[in-house]
Amino acid sequence: MDPMDPVPWEDVIAVRGVPGEELQPFVQRHAPDFDDEVPATAVKTVYDDWKESLGENRTLDDQGAAYLIAYLLEHRGAIHLDDGDGFGGSLLDRRPSDERLRTMFHEDELTKWWIAIECGVHYALVSRWLYEADIPLLARNLGEETMAKITERSV
């Protein structure tokens, strides 16, 4: 498979799951409790629960998890990020439109890392945005082991 070939989310999800989905139960558990909570404290509460509960079974790195937790909490309206919150403002506001994201990723051939740099986020959050916009990943975004499992599925 060519590194620039798109890989449907259906195949990626079957092998790796939805980006950031392992965080959802922890976000759901704590989000109702964050009416007047400082965003950093809210993110840390969810993060600590996630890290303690899953231990070595976590699939996200620490920084990626923190960005995804903040985004998911902000998306639910459980926290509100502004310039003084340590995240540099709203993560929702940093998300490019679906069309702009598609252009950046497929037409301009920017990597998830570069999109993350341009948007001031972690590349794990870019993966989530691509999923939400139904923009397929590229073969180059998936490791050999993942691609082997995807290929195995299609046989």
pLDDT, tens digit (0-9, with 9 covering 90-100), for 33-65: 888 788 999 999 999 999 999 999 998 999 999
HSE-CB for 155 with a 13 A CA cutoff: 6
* Cβ atoms of 64 and 122 closer than 8 Å: yes
The mean pLDDT of 71-92, rounded to a whole number, is 86
What are the backbone angles phi and psi of residue 22, rounded to the nearest 5°? -65, -15
Can you give the pLDDT at residue 44?
A: 96
Q: 1-22: buried (b, 16+ CB within 10 Å) or exposed (e) per residue? A: eeeeeebebebbeebbeebbeb
For the chain, the average pLDDT equals 92
What residue spans define the domains of the chain? 6-154
Q: What is the pLDDT of residue 155?
A: 67
φ, ψ dihedrals at 110, nearest 5°: -75, 145
Q: What is the mean pLDDT of residues 62-78?
A: 95
CB atoms near residue 131 (< 10 Å): 18
